[in-house]
Homo-oligomer: A and B are copies of this chain.
Amino acid sequence: MARSGKGNHVQYVWIPVIAALLAVPLGFMYVSWNKAGEGAGLYSRQWQPDAVFSYWNPGEFYRSVDTVQGVFSGEQCVQCHAAVTPGIVKDWRLSRHSTAAPGKKPVYCLSCHGDDHQDLHMPTPDVCAGCHAIQHSQFVDEKRYGFPSHALAMERAVDARHFVDKPKPEVTSCLQCHSVATKCDSCHTRHRFSAAEARRSEACITCHSGPPHPDDETFFASAHGKIYRQEGENWDWSKPLRKGNYKSPTCAYCHMAEGKHQVADKSIWKFGILEINPDTSANEVRRRAWIKVCSDCHEAGWSRDRLEELDTERKRAWRKLYEAEDLIKDLRSEELLYPAAGERPLYPVDVIEKLWPRERIGFYEGQASAFYNVSPIERDYFDMWYFDNLGAYKGAAHGAPNFVTAQHQKMDQALKSIKQQAKALRTAGEQERLYKERVDPSALWKQGEYTEYNKEHN
């Protein structure tokens, strides 16, 4: 019995094993089928790129134009383009690319773009990695730390369901910066590709500015930024980002110390998007890495106090956010959010929600877009979290005190408005309940005080 029973079991074991073995290639096929669509990423079949996307994500979308025919040498490229686009050629001449190492050729146009003018390509990070392997591997290493990170920026702006669902003209302004993952000239602008350029804070600000990431505004308003604004022009930017070389730090000095192309590994507060526990041992390791950088100029005690103050500010901000979130959660459980889950237009990629409608609160509930097709109060909470809160974080982290004040005032105002709306929704809900009672008085008579009395006394 035991044996034959065991034999039966062994036979049944094959069912899940085979299912699992089949699931893997089927999964790959599904993803591959998806990716064969018009767009890029897991949901590629469900969106179409605008024409300009071909430049933001050249690896996926760029197709060479065929206005000029022929295969050219590096010198020929330069000769012709010196007349057609002289600025570009001037930049290249000023770059290290144009200077041949002894016994070697310069890095000509064709090294990155190819030599066939009818099959040109725009270089992706892989192309740059041919020579700059260390920087590229550091950059790719960011993926280990998840998002936010440079290396995953484009993937998250394509694969993320709320990006797939978003109107493409509005995605464009996102992609313009998220393309930091798909091309290196976001920081090292073409065609000088200068390290000196990327060491300066201006290299970061086209993307790192404005809500929800006012790094430009907060750095340049800080004491660091003020010194930089005054005299940065005259510093020797050919020097590496190292102790004693600069009077004041830049973005890269702290976040990419010694030129390391990995900005995710020191991150404690994750861009301000989550409340984290700053006191884990992993975060203490990160904190010490920060203090090491700060100690290039500052006393260690000062640096630690400032970082702890940042934690304090974060906790204060999250207290405000949680107060708002709790209000909305209550409204949700009392069915006072309009439109309610089932009444909202679903996004194309909302498959599970079609079967199991869910209310949305906050970005990180794992749902597509928390900012479209939600009730007004939820949208306000999203804005409070995404714009006001993240701005406050950047102000506190970069030493821009006025920014912290202004953003906390905005959070106060948002919380006030959310409280007012919650109260109004609750009052309206109460009125509706009373109205229903009036229209259908049976409920009142059947269950009311008088009925109870009658039940007992008649």
Contacts and interface: CB of A to CB of B under 8 A. Distances in A.
Contact of A202 (B86, B203, B226): B226
Interface string A220-232: 0111011101100
Interface in A158-185: 167-170, 172-174, 176-177
B405 A223 contact: no
A61 to B, nearest CB: 11
Interface string A271-310: 0000000000000000000000001111111100110110
Given A87-B246, A309-B169, A406 B210 contact: yes
B243 A313 contact: no
A230 B216 contact: no
Given A169-B315, A170-B316, A409-B383, A54 B305 contact: yes
Contacts of A408: 170, 173
Q: Most chain-B CB neighbours within 10 Å: which of A167, A168, A405, A419? A: A405
Interface stretch (A22-30, A262-270, A396-404): A396-404
A173 B402 contact: yes
The prevalent SS among residues of A at the interface is: helix
Given A210-B402, A404-B173, A379 B223 contact: no
B210 A244 contact: no
A50 interface: yes
B221 A205 contact: yes
A85 B297 contact: yes
Nearest to A203: B226
Interface string A405-433: 11011001100100110000000000000
A230 B201 CA distance: 9
A405 B169 contact: no
Nearest to A228: B202
B206 A223 contact: yes
A221 B209 contact: yes
A210 to B, nearest CB: 3
Interface in A297-338: 297-302, 305-306, 308-309, 312-313, 315-316
Interface string A363-406: 00000000100001001000100010000000110011111111
B296 A402 contact: no
Contacts of A420: 376
Contacts of A52: 305-306, 308-309
A340 to B, nearest CB: 16
B402 A305 contact: no
Contacts of A189: 223, 226-227
Contacts of A197: 230
A299 B65 contact: yes
A308 to B, nearest CB: 6
A247 interface: yes
A170 B405 contact: yes
A88 interface: yes
Contacts of A449: none
A55 interface: yes
Interface of A: 50-52, 54-55, 65, 67, 85-88, 90-91, 167-170, 172-174, 176-177, 189, 192, 197, 200, 202-203, 205-207, 209-211, 213, 216, 221-223, 225-227, 229-230, 233, 243-244, 246-247, 295-302, 305-306, 308-309, 312-313, 315-316, 371, 376, 379, 383, 387, 395-396, 399-406, 408-409, 412-413, 416, 419-420
Given A86-B243, A379-B416, 15 more contacts: A51-B305, A51-B308, A51-B309, A52-B306, A85-B296, A87-B247, A167-B316, A172-B312, A197-B230, A202-B229, A206-B223, A207-B402, A209-B221, A211-B406, A383-B409
For the complex of A and B, the 6 pairs showing the least CB-CB separation, nearest first, are A210-B402, A86-B244, A173-B404, A176-B401, A173-B401, A169-B316
27 contacts: A50-B312, A51-B305, A51-B308, A51-B309, A52-B309, A85-B295, A85-B296, A86-B244, A87-B243, A90-B244, A169-B313, A170-B404, A173-B396, A173-B402, A189-B223, A202-B226, A203-B226, A207-B401, A209-B221, A209-B402, A210-B221, A210-B400, A211-B409, A213-B402, A379-B413, A383-B413, A387-B406
